A and B are shown apart, each in its own frame.
Chain A
Amino acid sequence: MIGGAPFYEFGRFGEGTSLVIAVLLGIAFGWFLEQGGMGNARKLSGQFYLTDLSVLKLMFSAIVTAMLGLFWLSWAGLLDLSRVYVPETFIAPQVVGGLIFGAGFATGGLCPGTSCVAAATGRKDGLALIAGMLAGVFVFGEASPAIGQFADSTGRGAWTLPQAFGLSYGTVVGGIVAVALGAFAGAEWLERRAERPARPMKVVA
Protein backbone atom coordinates (compact mmCIF):
# COMPACT_ATOMS: atom_id res chain seq x y z
CA MET A 1 0.00 0.00 0.00
CA ILE A 2 3.02 2.29 0.08
CA GLY A 3 2.55 5.03 -2.49
CA GLY A 4 6.23 5.60 -3.08
CA ALA A 5 7.19 8.44 -0.78
CA PRO A 6 9.86 9.41 0.19
CA PHE A 7 10.67 9.46 -3.52
CA TYR A 8 14.45 9.82 -3.21
CA GLU A 9 14.61 6.91 -0.76
CA PHE A 10 12.79 4.74 -3.30
CA GLY A 11 15.13 5.75 -6.10
CA ARG A 12 12.67 7.84 -8.11
CA PHE A 13 15.41 10.36 -8.90
CA GLY A 14 19.16 10.64 -8.52
CA GLU A 15 21.63 12.69 -6.54
CA GLY A 16 21.81 15.51 -9.09
CA THR A 17 18.07 16.08 -8.92
CA SER A 18 18.19 15.89 -5.13
CA LEU A 19 20.63 18.81 -5.09
CA VAL A 20 18.33 20.89 -7.31
CA ILE A 21 15.51 20.09 -4.89
CA ALA A 22 17.78 21.22 -2.03
CA VAL A 23 18.17 24.66 -3.62
CA LEU A 24 14.44 24.98 -4.39
CA LEU A 25 13.33 23.94 -0.90
CA GLY A 26 15.98 26.27 0.55
CA ILE A 27 14.60 29.19 -1.49
CA ALA A 28 11.10 28.54 -0.13
CA PHE A 29 12.46 28.11 3.41
CA GLY A 30 14.39 31.40 3.22
CA TRP A 31 11.38 33.15 1.68
CA PHE A 32 9.04 32.21 4.52
CA LEU A 33 11.66 32.96 7.20
CA GLU A 34 12.07 36.47 5.80
CA GLN A 35 8.31 36.92 5.40
CA GLY A 36 7.86 36.04 9.06
CA GLY A 37 10.44 38.63 10.13
CA MET A 38 13.01 36.04 11.16
CA GLY A 39 15.81 37.87 9.34
CA ASN A 40 15.53 40.70 11.84
CA ALA A 41 17.32 40.17 15.18
CA ARG A 42 15.35 42.91 16.89
CA LYS A 43 12.06 41.23 16.08
CA LEU A 44 13.44 37.78 16.88
CA SER A 45 14.86 38.79 20.24
CA GLY A 46 11.40 39.92 21.36
CA GLN A 47 10.86 36.23 22.05
CA PHE A 48 13.29 36.40 24.97
CA TYR A 49 11.63 39.46 26.54
CA LEU A 50 8.10 38.21 25.90
CA THR A 51 7.19 41.23 23.77
CA ASP A 52 7.02 39.49 20.36
CA LEU A 53 6.58 35.73 20.37
CA SER A 54 6.86 35.24 16.61
CA VAL A 55 9.62 32.64 17.05
CA LEU A 56 7.42 30.37 19.14
CA LYS A 57 4.37 30.85 16.91
CA LEU A 58 6.34 30.25 13.70
CA MET A 59 8.23 27.22 14.98
CA PHE A 60 5.18 25.54 16.49
CA SER A 61 3.07 26.26 13.37
CA ALA A 62 5.75 24.72 11.17
CA ILE A 63 6.23 21.66 13.40
CA VAL A 64 2.48 21.00 13.69
CA THR A 65 1.93 21.41 9.94
CA ALA A 66 4.72 19.01 8.96
CA MET A 67 3.88 16.59 11.78
CA LEU A 68 0.21 16.36 10.77
CA GLY A 69 1.21 15.99 7.11
CA LEU A 70 3.53 13.08 7.93
CA PHE A 71 0.88 11.49 10.15
CA TRP A 72 -1.89 11.64 7.55
CA LEU A 73 0.29 10.64 4.59
CA SER A 74 1.55 7.58 6.45
CA TRP A 75 -1.98 6.76 7.69
CA ALA A 76 -3.20 6.91 4.08
CA GLY A 77 -0.38 4.60 3.04
CA LEU A 78 1.19 7.19 0.77
CA LEU A 79 4.44 7.54 2.70
CA ASP A 80 6.70 5.00 4.40
CA LEU A 81 7.55 6.60 7.75
CA SER A 82 10.35 4.11 8.38
CA ARG A 83 12.24 5.70 5.48
CA VAL A 84 11.98 9.22 6.94
CA TYR A 85 15.07 10.34 8.83
CA VAL A 86 14.56 10.90 12.56
CA PRO A 87 17.37 12.91 14.24
CA GLU A 88 19.17 10.58 16.64
CA THR A 89 18.99 11.12 20.37
CA PHE A 90 22.09 11.66 22.53
CA ILE A 91 20.53 12.78 25.80
CA ALA A 92 23.43 14.44 27.69
CA PRO A 93 25.15 16.24 24.79
CA GLN A 94 21.80 17.46 23.47
CA VAL A 95 20.75 18.92 26.81
CA VAL A 96 24.17 20.54 27.41
CA GLY A 97 24.46 21.59 23.76
CA GLY A 98 20.94 23.03 23.94
CA LEU A 99 21.79 25.15 26.99
CA ILE A 100 24.94 26.52 25.31
CA PHE A 101 23.03 27.06 22.06
CA GLY A 102 20.23 28.89 23.88
CA ALA A 103 22.69 31.21 25.63
CA GLY A 104 24.21 31.98 22.23
CA PHE A 105 20.76 32.46 20.71
CA ALA A 106 19.83 35.13 23.28
CA THR A 107 23.25 36.79 22.95
CA GLY A 108 23.32 36.78 19.15
CA GLY A 109 19.61 37.39 18.54
CA LEU A 110 19.54 35.05 15.54
CA CYS A 111 19.92 31.31 14.99
CA PRO A 112 22.12 29.68 12.31
CA GLY A 113 19.38 29.53 9.65
CA THR A 114 17.98 32.99 10.29
CA SER A 115 21.48 34.52 10.35
CA CYS A 116 21.76 33.58 6.66
CA VAL A 117 18.52 35.46 5.93
CA ALA A 118 19.69 38.44 8.00
CA ALA A 119 23.04 38.55 6.18
CA ALA A 120 21.38 38.12 2.77
CA THR A 121 19.17 41.16 3.45
CA GLY A 122 22.07 43.43 4.44
CA ARG A 123 22.16 43.00 8.21
CA LYS A 124 25.77 43.26 9.38
CA ASP A 125 24.91 41.50 12.63
CA GLY A 126 23.85 38.52 10.53
CA LEU A 127 27.29 38.44 8.90
CA ALA A 128 29.00 38.70 12.30
CA LEU A 129 26.88 35.83 13.59
CA ILE A 130 27.78 33.64 10.62
CA ALA A 131 31.48 34.37 11.28
CA GLY A 132 30.92 33.40 14.92
CA MET A 133 29.17 30.16 13.93
CA LEU A 134 32.08 29.19 11.70
CA ALA A 135 34.49 29.96 14.54
CA GLY A 136 32.39 27.91 16.97
CA VAL A 137 32.24 24.92 14.65
CA PHE A 138 36.02 25.16 14.22
CA VAL A 139 36.50 25.30 18.01
CA PHE A 140 34.30 22.22 18.36
CA GLY A 141 36.17 20.45 15.57
CA GLU A 142 39.54 21.10 17.20
CA ALA A 143 38.22 20.11 20.61
CA SER A 144 36.40 17.03 19.34
CA PRO A 145 39.22 14.55 20.07
CA ALA A 146 38.98 15.64 23.73
CA ILE A 147 35.19 15.96 24.08
CA GLY A 148 34.17 13.40 21.49
CA GLN A 149 33.51 10.77 24.13
CA PHE A 150 30.95 13.03 25.84
CA ALA A 151 29.44 14.10 22.51
CA ASP A 152 28.84 10.43 21.62
CA SER A 153 27.51 9.44 25.04
CA THR A 154 23.96 8.50 26.09
CA GLY A 155 22.99 7.59 22.53
CA ARG A 156 19.48 6.22 22.06
CA GLY A 157 19.30 6.06 18.25
CA ALA A 158 16.16 7.18 16.42
CA TRP A 159 14.13 7.32 19.63
CA THR A 160 10.67 8.88 19.33
CA LEU A 161 8.23 10.36 21.83
CA PRO A 162 5.62 7.61 21.25
CA GLN A 163 8.28 5.01 22.17
CA ALA A 164 9.49 6.99 25.18
CA PHE A 165 6.00 7.52 26.61
CA GLY A 166 4.59 4.17 25.49
CA LEU A 167 1.76 5.97 23.70
CA SER A 168 0.38 5.59 20.20
CA TYR A 169 1.61 7.83 17.38
CA GLY A 170 -1.82 9.46 17.08
CA THR A 171 -2.04 10.20 20.80
CA VAL A 172 1.33 12.00 20.82
CA VAL A 173 0.41 13.94 17.66
CA GLY A 174 -2.85 15.02 19.27
CA GLY A 175 -1.04 15.95 22.46
CA ILE A 176 1.45 18.15 20.61
CA VAL A 177 -1.37 19.89 18.71
CA ALA A 178 -3.04 20.60 22.06
CA VAL A 179 0.21 21.95 23.56
CA ALA A 180 0.73 24.13 20.47
CA LEU A 181 -2.78 25.59 20.67
CA GLY A 182 -2.22 26.34 24.35
CA ALA A 183 1.13 27.96 23.54
CA PHE A 184 -0.50 30.12 20.83
CA ALA A 185 -3.15 31.33 23.28
CA GLY A 186 -0.46 32.05 25.89
CA ALA A 187 1.69 33.90 23.33
CA GLU A 188 -1.23 36.12 22.25
CA TRP A 189 -1.99 36.91 25.88
CA LEU A 190 1.65 37.82 26.62
CA GLU A 191 1.85 40.07 23.55
CA ARG A 192 -1.36 41.88 24.49
CA ARG A 193 0.05 42.39 27.96
CA ALA A 194 3.38 43.69 26.59
CA GLU A 195 1.63 46.18 24.32
CA ARG A 196 0.54 48.39 27.20
CA PRO A 197 3.67 48.84 29.28
CA ALA A 198 3.39 52.64 29.40
CA ARG A 199 0.41 52.64 31.70
CA PRO A 200 1.15 52.01 35.35
CA MET A 201 0.16 48.66 36.74
CA LYS A 202 -3.42 48.61 37.86
CA VAL A 203 -3.59 48.68 41.59
CA VAL A 204 -5.69 45.85 42.91
CA ALA A 205 -8.50 47.45 44.87
Chain B
Amino acid sequence: MSDVATTAAGQPLGTAASSRAEVTTTTRVQVRREAAPYASPYVAGVGIGVVLLLAFVLMGRGLGASGAFSSVVAAAVSTAAPSHAAGNEFYSRYLSDGAANPLRDWLVLEIIGVVIGGLASAVLAGRVRWTTERGAGITDRRRLVNAFVGGTAMGVGAKLARGCTSGLGLTGGATLSVGSWLFVIAAFVGAYATAPLLRRAWR
Protein backbone atom coordinates (compact mmCIF):
# COMPACT_ATOMS: atom_id res chain seq x y z
CA MET B 1 0.00 0.00 0.00
CA SER B 2 2.88 2.36 -0.67
CA ASP B 3 3.10 4.99 -3.36
CA VAL B 4 4.66 2.55 -5.79
CA ALA B 5 1.22 1.69 -7.06
CA THR B 6 0.25 5.22 -8.04
CA THR B 7 1.28 4.93 -11.67
CA ALA B 8 -2.33 4.74 -12.65
CA ALA B 9 -1.73 4.12 -16.31
CA GLY B 10 0.58 1.16 -15.87
CA GLN B 11 -1.26 -0.61 -13.14
CA PRO B 12 -2.85 -3.91 -14.06
CA LEU B 13 -6.59 -3.74 -14.05
CA GLY B 14 -6.83 -7.45 -13.70
CA THR B 15 -9.10 -7.97 -16.69
CA ALA B 16 -8.93 -8.00 -20.41
CA ALA B 17 -9.14 -4.24 -20.04
CA SER B 18 -5.48 -4.17 -19.03
CA SER B 19 -4.48 -5.04 -22.56
CA ARG B 20 -6.42 -2.02 -23.75
CA ALA B 21 -5.12 0.35 -21.11
CA GLU B 22 -2.95 3.04 -22.59
CA VAL B 23 0.58 2.71 -21.35
CA THR B 24 2.66 5.83 -21.08
CA THR B 25 6.30 5.95 -22.03
CA THR B 26 7.31 6.27 -18.40
CA THR B 27 8.78 3.21 -16.76
CA ARG B 28 6.18 0.83 -15.45
CA VAL B 29 6.53 0.11 -11.79
CA GLN B 30 6.05 -3.50 -10.80
CA VAL B 31 3.22 -3.87 -8.34
CA ARG B 32 4.21 -6.15 -5.50
CA ARG B 33 1.16 -8.30 -5.51
CA GLU B 34 -0.65 -9.60 -8.53
CA ALA B 35 -4.30 -8.61 -8.46
CA ALA B 36 -6.85 -11.32 -9.22
CA PRO B 37 -8.94 -10.65 -12.30
CA TYR B 38 -12.41 -9.21 -11.76
CA ALA B 39 -15.40 -11.54 -11.90
CA SER B 40 -17.70 -11.53 -14.90
CA PRO B 41 -20.13 -8.59 -14.66
CA TYR B 42 -22.95 -11.04 -15.34
CA VAL B 43 -21.97 -13.18 -12.33
CA ALA B 44 -21.52 -10.13 -10.09
CA GLY B 45 -24.81 -8.73 -11.39
CA VAL B 46 -26.76 -11.90 -10.64
CA GLY B 47 -25.17 -11.89 -7.18
CA ILE B 48 -26.39 -8.33 -6.59
CA GLY B 49 -29.79 -9.32 -7.96
CA VAL B 50 -30.05 -12.11 -5.39
CA VAL B 51 -29.04 -9.68 -2.62
CA LEU B 52 -31.68 -7.23 -3.86
CA LEU B 53 -34.30 -9.98 -3.95
CA LEU B 54 -33.36 -10.98 -0.40
CA ALA B 55 -33.88 -7.36 0.67
CA PHE B 56 -37.36 -7.42 -0.89
CA VAL B 57 -38.23 -10.77 0.74
CA LEU B 58 -36.83 -9.96 4.18
CA MET B 59 -37.54 -6.24 4.42
CA GLY B 60 -40.04 -5.30 1.73
CA ARG B 61 -37.60 -2.66 0.53
CA GLY B 62 -34.63 -2.58 -1.80
CA LEU B 63 -31.02 -1.44 -1.69
CA GLY B 64 -29.87 2.18 -1.81
CA ALA B 65 -26.91 4.49 -1.34
CA SER B 66 -27.65 8.20 -1.65
CA GLY B 67 -30.12 8.10 1.24
CA ALA B 68 -27.23 7.26 3.56
CA PHE B 69 -25.41 10.41 2.43
CA SER B 70 -28.55 12.43 3.22
CA SER B 71 -28.69 11.03 6.75
CA VAL B 72 -25.04 11.92 7.32
CA VAL B 73 -25.51 15.49 6.04
CA ALA B 74 -28.76 15.95 7.98
CA ALA B 75 -27.08 14.70 11.17
CA ALA B 76 -24.11 17.02 10.65
CA VAL B 77 -26.29 20.08 9.99
CA SER B 78 -28.49 19.21 12.93
CA THR B 79 -25.44 19.02 15.20
CA ALA B 80 -23.98 22.29 13.94
CA ALA B 81 -27.22 24.26 13.68
CA PRO B 82 -30.14 22.38 15.29
CA SER B 83 -32.83 24.99 14.72
CA HIS B 84 -31.75 25.56 11.10
CA ALA B 85 -32.01 21.82 10.40
CA ALA B 86 -35.33 21.51 12.19
CA GLY B 87 -36.78 24.35 10.12
CA ASN B 88 -35.71 22.74 6.84
CA GLU B 89 -38.15 20.28 5.32
CA PHE B 90 -35.45 18.27 3.51
CA TYR B 91 -33.24 17.72 6.58
CA SER B 92 -36.28 17.08 8.75
CA ARG B 93 -37.20 14.14 6.54
CA TYR B 94 -34.00 12.42 7.73
CA LEU B 95 -34.37 13.59 11.35
CA SER B 96 -38.01 12.60 11.71
CA ASP B 97 -37.38 10.12 14.53
CA GLY B 98 -36.96 13.10 16.83
CA ALA B 99 -34.69 12.12 19.68
CA ALA B 100 -33.41 8.98 17.98
CA ASN B 101 -29.99 9.11 16.35
CA PRO B 102 -30.44 9.92 12.61
CA LEU B 103 -27.50 7.64 11.86
CA ARG B 104 -29.38 4.66 13.31
CA ASP B 105 -30.82 4.23 9.87
CA TRP B 106 -31.28 1.20 7.61
CA LEU B 107 -29.41 2.69 4.65
CA VAL B 108 -26.56 4.05 6.78
CA LEU B 109 -25.97 0.55 8.18
CA GLU B 110 -26.31 -0.98 4.71
CA ILE B 111 -23.60 1.38 3.42
CA ILE B 112 -21.34 0.49 6.36
CA GLY B 113 -21.83 -3.09 5.18
CA VAL B 114 -20.93 -2.11 1.60
CA VAL B 115 -17.63 -0.68 2.85
CA ILE B 116 -16.86 -3.86 4.83
CA GLY B 117 -17.86 -6.19 1.99
CA GLY B 118 -16.00 -4.22 -0.67
CA LEU B 119 -12.85 -4.15 1.43
CA ALA B 120 -13.07 -7.88 2.25
CA SER B 121 -13.44 -8.78 -1.40
CA ALA B 122 -10.51 -6.56 -2.45
CA VAL B 123 -8.26 -7.84 0.33
CA LEU B 124 -8.86 -11.47 -0.63
CA ALA B 125 -8.30 -10.67 -4.32
CA GLY B 126 -5.18 -8.57 -3.69
CA ARG B 127 -6.81 -5.48 -5.14
CA VAL B 128 -6.37 -2.98 -2.29
CA ARG B 129 -4.26 -0.04 -3.52
CA TRP B 130 -3.68 3.40 -2.00
CA THR B 131 -3.84 5.15 -5.35
CA THR B 132 -5.79 7.46 -7.61
CA GLU B 133 -7.51 5.80 -10.55
CA ARG B 134 -7.20 7.96 -13.65
CA GLY B 135 -6.27 7.96 -17.30
CA ALA B 136 -2.82 8.93 -18.55
CA GLY B 137 -4.01 12.32 -19.84
CA ILE B 138 -4.50 14.05 -16.48
CA THR B 139 -2.76 14.51 -13.13
CA ASP B 140 -3.85 12.93 -9.85
CA ARG B 141 -4.87 16.36 -8.63
CA ARG B 142 -7.09 16.99 -11.66
CA ARG B 143 -8.67 13.56 -11.21
CA LEU B 144 -9.49 14.29 -7.58
CA VAL B 145 -11.06 17.62 -8.56
CA ASN B 146 -13.13 15.83 -11.23
CA ALA B 147 -14.24 13.23 -8.69
CA PHE B 148 -15.29 15.94 -6.24
CA VAL B 149 -17.14 17.98 -8.89
CA GLY B 150 -18.83 14.85 -10.26
CA GLY B 151 -19.81 13.84 -6.74
CA THR B 152 -21.33 17.26 -6.09
CA ALA B 153 -23.42 17.07 -9.26
CA MET B 154 -24.53 13.54 -8.32
CA GLY B 155 -25.45 14.71 -4.82
CA VAL B 156 -27.73 17.41 -6.23
CA GLY B 157 -29.11 15.17 -9.00
CA ALA B 158 -29.78 12.22 -6.69
CA LYS B 159 -31.63 14.38 -4.17
CA LEU B 160 -33.70 16.05 -6.86
CA ALA B 161 -34.60 12.61 -8.25
CA ARG B 162 -34.97 11.01 -4.79
CA GLY B 163 -32.44 8.28 -5.45
CA CYS B 164 -29.41 7.16 -7.39
CA THR B 165 -28.19 4.19 -9.42
CA SER B 166 -28.90 1.91 -6.43
CA GLY B 167 -32.21 3.10 -5.01
CA LEU B 168 -33.77 4.08 -8.31
CA GLY B 169 -31.65 2.11 -10.80
CA LEU B 170 -31.64 -1.28 -9.12
CA THR B 171 -34.55 -1.17 -6.64
CA GLY B 172 -36.88 0.87 -8.86
CA GLY B 173 -35.74 -1.00 -11.95
CA ALA B 174 -36.70 -4.38 -10.47
CA THR B 175 -40.01 -3.09 -9.06
CA LEU B 176 -40.85 -1.53 -12.46
CA SER B 177 -41.20 2.03 -11.13
CA VAL B 178 -41.85 4.44 -14.03
CA GLY B 179 -39.86 7.27 -12.43
CA SER B 180 -36.90 4.97 -11.83
CA TRP B 181 -36.70 3.94 -15.46
CA LEU B 182 -37.02 7.59 -16.53
CA PHE B 183 -34.19 8.49 -14.13
CA VAL B 184 -31.89 5.76 -15.46
CA ILE B 185 -32.52 6.72 -19.09
CA ALA B 186 -31.95 10.42 -18.28
CA ALA B 187 -28.77 9.56 -16.35
CA PHE B 188 -27.29 7.66 -19.28
CA VAL B 189 -28.25 10.51 -21.65
CA GLY B 190 -26.54 12.99 -19.29
CA ALA B 191 -23.47 10.77 -18.99
CA TYR B 192 -23.06 10.20 -22.72
CA ALA B 193 -23.53 13.92 -23.39
CA THR B 194 -20.78 14.76 -20.89
CA ALA B 195 -18.29 11.96 -21.53
CA PRO B 196 -16.80 13.35 -24.81
CA LEU B 197 -15.71 16.48 -22.92
CA LEU B 198 -13.73 14.32 -20.50
CA ARG B 199 -12.13 11.86 -22.90
CA ARG B 200 -8.64 13.01 -21.89
CA ALA B 201 -9.34 12.17 -18.25
CA TRP B 202 -9.52 8.46 -19.00
CA ARG B 203 -7.34 7.88 -22.03
User: Bound complex: CA of A149 vs CA of B15, how far in Å?
Assistant: 46
User: Bound complex: CA of A140 vs CA of B164, how far in Å?
Assistant: 14
Inter-subunit contact A129/B148 (CB<8 Å): yes
Q: A22-B110, A39-B118, A103-B153 are in contact. Are A109 and B146 (CB under 8 A)?
A: yes
For A36, A61, A106, A158, the residue with the greatest tally of chain B CB atoms inside 10 Å of its CB is: A106
Inter-subunit contact A98/B129 (CB<8 Å): no
User: Bound complex: CA of A83 vs CA of B59, how far in Å?
Assistant: 9
A162 to nearest B CB, angstroms? Answer: 6
Q: Is B195 part of the binding interface, using a Cβ–Cβ cutoff of 8 Å?
A: yes
User: Bound complex: CA of A99 vs CA of B72, how far in Å?
Assistant: 24
Interface residue from B48, B70, B88, B120 paired with A29 (Cβ < 8 Å): B48
Nearest CB to that of B39 among chain A residues?
A35
Inter-subunit contact A156/B179 (CB<8 Å): yes
Inter-subunit contact B147/A129 (CB<8 Å): yes
Chain A residues near B4: list those with CB within 8 A. Answer: none
Interface residue from A5, A48, A86, A112 paired with B66 (Cβ < 8 Å): A112
Nearest CB to that of B17 among chain A residues?
A52
Inter-subunit contact A106/B46 (CB<8 Å): no
Q: Is A26 part of the binding interface, using a Cβ–Cβ cutoff of 8 Å?
A: yes
Scan A130-163; emit 1 where CB is below 8 A from any B CB, else 0. Answer: 1111111111111011011001000010111111
Chain A residues near B15: list those with CB within 8 A. Answer: 37, 43, 52
Q: Is A75 part of the binding interface, using a Cβ–Cβ cutoff of 8 Å?
A: no
Q: Which residues 138-192 in A have Cβ within 8 Å of B in the complex? A: 138-142, 144-145, 147-148, 151, 156, 158-164, 169, 172-173, 176, 184
Q: Is B82 part of the binding interface, using a Cβ–Cβ cutoff of 8 Å?
A: no
User: Bound complex: CA of A103 vs CA of B186, how far in Å?
Assistant: 10
Q: A40-B13, A49-B195 are in contact. Are A26 and B117 (CB under 8 A)?
A: yes
For A49, A65, A158, the residue with the greatest tally of chain B CB atoms inside 10 Å of its CB is: A65
Q: Which residues 94-130 in A have Cβ within 8 Å of B in the complex? A: 94-113, 115-126, 128-130
B149 to nearest A CB, angstroms? Answer: 6
Inter-subunit contact A43/B65 (CB<8 Å): no
Q: A35-B121, A116-B118 are in contact. Are A45 and B202 (CB under 8 A)?
A: yes
Interface residue from A48, A58, A87 paired with B162 (Cβ < 8 Å): A87
Interface residue from A18, A41, A60, A108 paired with B154 (Cβ < 8 Å): A108
Scan B53-66; emit 1 where CB is below 8 A from any A CB, else 0. Answer: 11111111111011
Inter-subunit contact B117/A86 (CB<8 Å): no
Q: Which residues 49-89 in B have Cβ within 8 Å of A in the complex? A: 49-63, 65-66, 69-70, 72-74, 77, 88-89
Inter-subunit contact A102/B118 (CB<8 Å): no
In the complex, besides A26-B114, A113-B166, 20 extra interface pairs with C-beta distance below 8 angstroms are A8-B60, A25-B58, A26-B115, A29-B113, A49-B195, A85-B171, A94-B183, A95-B182, A97-B160, A101-B158, A109-B202, A116-B114, A116-B118, A121-B122, A123-B132, A125-B143, A129-B151, A133-B66, A156-B178, A172-B176
| Residues of A that sit less than 8 Å from B by CB | 5-9, 18-19, 21-43, 45-49, 51-55, 57-67, 69-70, 73, 79, 83-91, 93-113, 115-126, 128-142, 144-145, 147-148, 151, 156, 158-164, 169, 172-173, 176, 184, 194-195, 197
**Lowest 10 A-B CB distances belong to which pairs?**
A136-B155, A26-B113, A108-B150, A132-B151, A65-B49, A102-B190, A61-B45, A98-B186, A36-B44, A97-B161
